[in-house]
Amino acid sequence: MAYSQAPAALSYYTQSSWVDTPARMLLPLIVQALENSQAFKAVLTPPASVPVDLRLDINLIRLQQEFLLKPSRVRITLRAKLIDMATSHILATQLFEAIELAPSEDADGGVQAATRATERLLREIRAFVLKYTPQATVRG
C-alpha cells in the first residue's frame, strides 16, 4: 500500500504486501456486490465468451494511507463507467472516493481502514449500476 507523510510525497510499505494487486482483488468483490443485488441474471468477469448487455469498467485511481493528520486515513478513489454493449453508448460515468480513519498508525491500521472504505465503495458502485441500468436489462 502506498502512504503519504507530506503533500505530493508518496512512499510504499516495504514489510507488507498484498496477496494480489488491489485492482484484481476488487473485481470479485464488485461481482459479489452486483450478484447480491439480485438484479441481474448473471454477472460475468472478463473475458466473457458470451455476449453481454452491459459492461462496467472500474479504474483504481488511488489507494493510499495518509499521515497528514492524526489519526491517519485511507483514501480510495475509483472511476466507474457503465457501457451499453448493444449500442456502445456510455450510460454513466462517476468518480467514487471513500476516506476512512485508521485505527492504528501502521500498515495493519491502513488495511482495516481500506476494508471499511472498500465496503462503502461497493455499496455506492452497486447503487450507481442499478440507477443507470436500463429497466429492460434488469432481471424481471
Work out the average pLDDT over 92-107: 96
pLDDT of 10 > 70? The answer is no
Show me where the domains of the chain are located. 2-132
Look at 46 and 135; give whichever has higher pLDDT.
Answer: 46
Q: Tell me, what's the pLDDT at 14?
A: 63
Q: Tell me, what's the pLDDT at 75?
A: 96
Q: Which CATH superfamily is domain 2-132 in?
A: ABC-type transport auxiliary lipoprotein component (3.40.50.10610)
Place 15 in a pLDDT band, splitting at 50, 70 and 90: low
Average per-residue pLDDT for the chain: 88
Work out the average pLDDT over 99-114: 94
pLDDT digits (tens, 9 = 90+) for 39-72: 999 999 888 788 899 999 999 999 999 998 999 9
> Looking at beta carbons, which pairs linking 90-93 to residues 24 or more positions away fall under 8 Å?
91/54, 91/132, 91/133, 91/134, 92/128, 92/131, 92/132
